Amino acid sequence: MLNIIIFGKPGSGKGTQASLIKDNYNLVHISTGDVFRKNTSQGTDLGKVAVQFMSKGELVPDEITISMLKEEIKSFMPCNGFIFDGFPRTIIQAESLDDLLKSMELNIDMVVALDVENNKLIERLLNRGKTSGRSDDKSEEKINKRLEEYDKKTKPLIDFYKNQKKFISINGVGDLNDVTTRLISIIDSKIS
């Protein structure tokens, strides 16, 4: 079984690359955004609790997120593995994910980061905002705030996973297919 976290700043291409490489390894793509939408639209017990926080503009507590992830993982078992996109975002979430996977006799094999400079990210997100409908992609001020939030809360995960000898960084700039090829090449080199 192969379990990968695809990691990077907002706009680095995590979701796009996860959806492209999952088929190469026959992995299940788990996006926390999709998991939230599924639970809230289906009105699951966890979804109802999450909505109470989301409706107030608050973050869903980690315990609820982890519980949703556990149910999502269980629903796909057995499988060849998972590619996690958008989670974890904090050290506490990473520790919780490790504990969850350990309880299921699983573990993260590698964390692959897409490295992209902030000016390129801002350009990408503003372009995406023209078609995505996402309000947080339409304002450079909001994008900068997200990048600052990443630096404060998510960037510490780099050292967390380096200490576990699971962190790999690749150049996330260039033609879409070139980035995919780089990703596949680095994953292949680690699993062979």
Catalytically active residues, by annotation: 14, 89, 128, 134, 146
- Tell me the β-bridge partners of 28: 82
Q: Which H helix or E strand runs over 168?
A: strand 167-171
Contact 157, 7 (CB under 8 A): yes
Find out whether 158 and 167 touch, Cβ atoms under 8 Å. yes
Please state the separation of Cα 165 from the chain's center in Å. 19
Nearest residue to 1 via CA among 21, 23, 20, 28: 28
Q: Is 28 within 8 Å of 82 (Cβ atoms)? A: yes
Report the run of H or E that residue 151 belongs to, with start and end.
Answer: none
